[in-house]
Structure 1
Amino acid sequence: MSSATAQRAPSRDDFAALLDESYGGSDALEGSVIKGRVVGIEKDVAVIDIGLKTEGRVPLKEFTGFGRDPAPQVGEEVEVYLERIENALGEAVISREKARREESWVKLEKAFESNEKVEGVIFNQVKGGFTVDLDSAVAFLPRSQVDIRPIRDAAPLMNVPQPFHILKMDRRRGNIVVSRRTVLEESRAEQRHEIVANLEEGQVIEGVVKNITDYGAFVDLGGIDGLLHVTDIAWRRVNHPSEVLTIGQTVRVKIIKINHETHRISLGMKQLLEDPWQGIEAKYPIGAKFHGRVTNITDYGAFVELEPGIEGLVHVSEMSWTKKNVHPGKIVSTSQEVDVQVLEVDPVKRRISLGLKQCLQNPWEAFAEKHPVGSIVEGEVKNKTEFGLFIGLDGDVDGMVHLSDLDWNRPGEQVIEEYKKGDVIKAQVLDVDIEKERISLGVKQLAGDPFATASVEDGGTVEIKKGAVVTSEVIEVKESGIDVKIVGTDLTTFVKRAELARDRADQRPERFAVGEKVDVRVTLFDRKARKIAVSIKALEMAEEKEAIAQYGSADSGASLGDILGAALKAREGEAAKKKGKGEE
């Protein structure tokens, strides 16, 4: 071999042979990243010599996409991905994009393992989210991971380099899922921590109302939000924060509480104002009456505002004298102006108990004034119970007629069946208990008490008492005796067979007729126990005794018949004498 031959430069075939020798054949290079040199630029394509039998072509946009690097120059060394040694055109199939992707996967896996942020560019919107270029590795960004709050317009985020966190990687499938939200939350947490560290409870600062909810408002304190609860907006009742605040409004608030672990901040506005509950007992003494406005109605009562920031509760039991089982909403309405009386004040619990009915006249007092005991009232039967009748009276109050006050003689259980709901009846007021809210009425009292006095002949009156002789009328004849009614009264009683006559032979009920007048002697009269007993036998025995005393005894030689006959004649003479005076 000549020296010229020994000194010649290695040819392309020599270089290929060396590669084959190094890599065990050029086919082993397929699917790997190799180095090549730019040997020419043709329009938008770079021609790259990778040291094999053929050259490859790569679009320039694979080098410059998303503003990465400037276009390569002729002679510059670059890394490319070798897909095939030779295609149908005799050229190598290479890609700068895939080479960069292979490099990126290695870097991304390291970042994923160490939980480091990576930089990428959102370049397209797809179903359910966006695609992100992570230096040639394409990742999926779910819509829920774009921002802390839902976004309406993603245009400002497109084609802008920004940090992401890798949530999941699968190299075999080529899947990468990233999040922009976690980066923002991390940044926000750091910012919140720094801001919270500079705040302290009791501090007064200004903020901007950022959002309004049913339970309060969120106020931006310069990078961190604080909650202004609806109960801390004002001392008075605020039904909804929008009544007082608007979004964008600048407010002065006091920091009530800071939770350094959760970074939650509680704010208050009313704390910057004078507490209206100071000296509340002096302003609202028990028993005093005030004018207020109904602010809220519940099942158990109604709240009445006495002044801004001061509300009291009127319990349902203190709303009406007569409406006991009625919802408060049927007695008062929201915003209604009412007069109330202070019943109790608790400055520690910040509670005031009020009464509405106390500002109205007690209907039982009014009834007692208008209808004293003994007066006659009229009302409708509202209800029948096992113990009496309830009668509706003036002033929306009820009175009760007990069974025992329905009739003097008949049992109440029997008499009450004669009444029905809706009947209008009269009754006498027997008692009014204002404290217990009870009115006792009586129906039988309208007819007078038959045990009080009894009328007799000549229009006179006589008090019935034990031993008195009265005239009775037979109203019923029974086998065991007779029922009689004392003439001139409503008193009735039963005369047993043994009391019908002195002689046993005359003790026959059938010898009396209904309607027959019979003189009887009162043997028992107990007004308190309401009992009366009469006897014909007792009368005959008394008359016998009187006759013996007046006309002599049997010892004088006169028979009992003579004595009784004389007594009877004297009695008939007195009767005829009275009759003659009457005719005159």
Structure 2
Amino acid sequence: MTKISEVDAKAPASFEEDFAALLDESLGADEGFEGSVVTGQVIRILDDVALIDVGLKSEGRVSLREFGDSEIKPGDFVELYIERYEDRDGAVVLSREKARREEAWTALERAFANNQRVTGAIFGRVKGGFTVDLGGAMAFLPGSQVDIRPVRDLGPLMGQPQPFQILKMDRARGNIVVSRRAVLEETRAEQRSELIKGLKEGMILDGVVKNLTDYGAFVDLGGVDGLLHVTDIAWKRINHPSEALTIGQQVRVQVIRFNSDTQRISLGMKQLEADPWENVAVKYPVGGRFNGRVTNITDYGAFVELEAGIEGLVHVSEMSWTKKNVHPAKMVSTSQEVEVMVLDMDSVKRRISLGLKQTHRNPWEQFEEEHKVGSELEGEIRNITEFGLF
């Protein structure tokens, strides 16, 4: 039989143990909030901190700097991250910045799972790429994922809200990799489809010079590329597209030909300008003398530009009355200003035959006038052959 004295002795100990257990359980429940995001109510503002009640045993303090430009006042409800249940002063350690980060991560994981675009802003440069703020969560943007083409100046893109595609993310490690290029490529494909549907020959479009080659320039029309052949850049002679265009230049072009099967687009710039060959026969009549500039020299003659877009050929046989079997480069040079005579005109084939020697008097006619048959002359022997002397 248990004695009353023994029961009385055990009761206080049992009561203390139960109370301790209840206290531990209560504290344990509060401590379980650490690392989670909760909603708190602003109680009051003290200098540079906000005193906030998050439903725990003690209130927490948050620096007003963490709220940025947002103004808060007593009674407002805010989302906060519980860092620690109690600091050395017995207060709950809260963070608005980490709450924003946690909220952002949750939203980003949902977007990643649904293959949706997210909005962010490039704000810094790091090795191999850039850092992007995705509404509180930091992401890495590789340099190769910034644009479809290499970007020389990233200044205009810095700090600007724009869409990104999440390539991969690891919440445990805090890593997010995004791409702006993927968004541009998807948008480009959509634009290409829309452009191809409505594309017709004769349309005038604005584009950007994407690449230069020996035979022309590729122009980005906003999702689809077209070829601007070197002969369709200008009416005047252009030996290489770089003489008139630069990569990245904004240009206005006309669709000359479009093959819907191969989706090849031929473009022209000179077609948007007046054709200098109109009324060329009136401006440059046969027999007329005009000044021009030598633009090109070949084995069979030299091309002379009379005006921008109008060139004629001086055949080697029409260069000199006296010099025979001499290369044209021995008689004229590129960019030299010369006087020529129009010998023939074919405006349909856009051909003009010019003469250089015709602007000078024929020395044989002059000799015939000055020296009659039977007159005596003195001269220098230039060559001796079996059949006579020169």
State the TM-score, normalizing by the size of structure 1.
0.44
Quick one: distance in 2 between partners of 1:45 and 1:329? 91
Residues 161 and 55 from structure 1, CA distance in 2 versus in 1: closer, same or farther, beyond 3 angstroms?
same
1:379 partnered with 2:376: no
What SS does the corresponding residue of 2:314 show, helix, strand or coil? strand
Q: What is the aligned partner in structure 2 of residue 134 from structure 1?
A: 134
Aligned residue runs from structure 1 range 478-517, under 5 A: none
Q: What is the aligned partner in structure 2 of residue 163 from structure 1?
A: 163
Query: Match for 1:337 among 332, 336, 339?
Result: 339
Structure 2: runs of 5+ lacking an equivalent: 1-18, 246-250
Contact 1:294 1:335 in 2 (8 A): yes
- Counterpart of 2:61, as a letter, is R
Q: Deviations over 1:150-190 (max 9, x none)?
A: 66865x964x6543334564556534454556646655664
Cα deviation, residue 65, structure 1? 4.0
What SS does the corresponding residue of 2:99 show, helix, strand or coil? helix
Cα deviation, residue 106, structure 1? 3.8
Aligned residue runs from structure 1 range 122-521, under 5 A: 124-125=123-124, 131-140=131-140, 145=146, 154=156, 158=159, 161-166=161-166, 169=169, 171=171, 174-178=174-178, 183=183, 187=187, 190=190, 194=194, 197-203=197-203, 231-232=231-232, 235=235, 254-258=254-258, 266-270=267-271, 273=274, 276=277, 289-300=287-298, 301-305=301-305, 309-316=309-316, 318-320=318-320, 321-322=322-323, 324-325=326-327, 327=329, 330=332, 334-342=336-344, 350-357=350-357, 378-379=379-380, 391=382, 400-402=383-385, 430=388, 440-441=389-390
Q: What is the aligned partner in structure 1 of residue 25 from structure 2?
A: 17
Contact 1:256 1:268 in 2 (8 A): no
What SS does the corresponding residue of 1:88 show, helix, strand or coil? coil
Cα deviation, residue 41, structure 1? 3.4
Residues 19 and 219 from structure 1, CA distance in 2 versus in 1: closer, same or farther, beyond 3 angstroms?
same
Structure 1: runs of 5+ lacking an equivalent: 1-10, 246-250, 381-390, 392-399, 406-429, 431-439, 442-584
Q: Deviations over 1:332-362 (max 9, x none)?
A: 85342212534x96955x4445443466667
Cα deviation, residue 229, structure 1? 7.0
Cα deviation, residue 401, structure 1? 0.8
What SS does the corresponding residue of 1:299 show, helix, strand or coil? strand
Name which structure has the greater RCO, CA cutoff 8 Å, separation 6+.
2
Residues 120 and 308 from structure 1, CA distance in 2 versus in 1: closer, same or farther, beyond 3 angstroms?
closer
What SS does the corresponding residue of 1:336 show, helix, strand or coil? strand
Cα deviation, residue 201, structure 1? 0.7
- Counterpart of 2:95, as a letter, is S
The answer to which of 99-108 and 350-359 deviates more is 350-359
Cα deviation, residue 276, structure 1? 3.4
What SS does the corresponding residue of 1:379 show, helix, strand or coil? coil
Of all paired residues, the percent bearing the same amino acid is: 43
Q: What is the number of equivalent residue pairs in this alignment?
A: 353
State the TM-score, normalizing by the size of structure 2.
0.60
What SS does the corresponding residue of 1:276 show, helix, strand or coil? coil
Quick one: distance in 1 between partners of 2:63 and 2:374? 117
Quick one: distance in 1 between partners of 2:319 and 2:356? 5
Residues 108 and 371 from structure 1, CA distance in 2 versus in 1: closer, same or farther, beyond 3 angstroms?
farther
Cα deviation, residue 327, structure 1? 1.5
Quick one: distance in 2 between partners of 1:78 and 1:108? 17
Q: What is the aligned partner in structure 2 of residue 41 from structure 1?
A: 44
Residues 330 and 352 from structure 1, CA distance in 2 versus in 1: closer, same or farther, beyond 3 angstroms?
closer
Aligned residue runs from structure 1 range 43-122, under 5 A: 43=46, 44-49=49-54, 51=56, 55-62=59-66, 64-65=67-68, 71=72, 78=79, 80-82=81-83, 84-112=84-112, 114-121=114-121
Residues 134 and 333 from structure 1, CA distance in 2 versus in 1: closer, same or farther, beyond 3 angstroms?
closer
Cα deviation, residue 257, structure 1? 3.5
* Two-structure CA RMSD over aligned residues (Å): 5.9
Contact 1:313 1:354 in 2 (8 A): yes
Return the index of the structure with the highest Cα Rg: 1
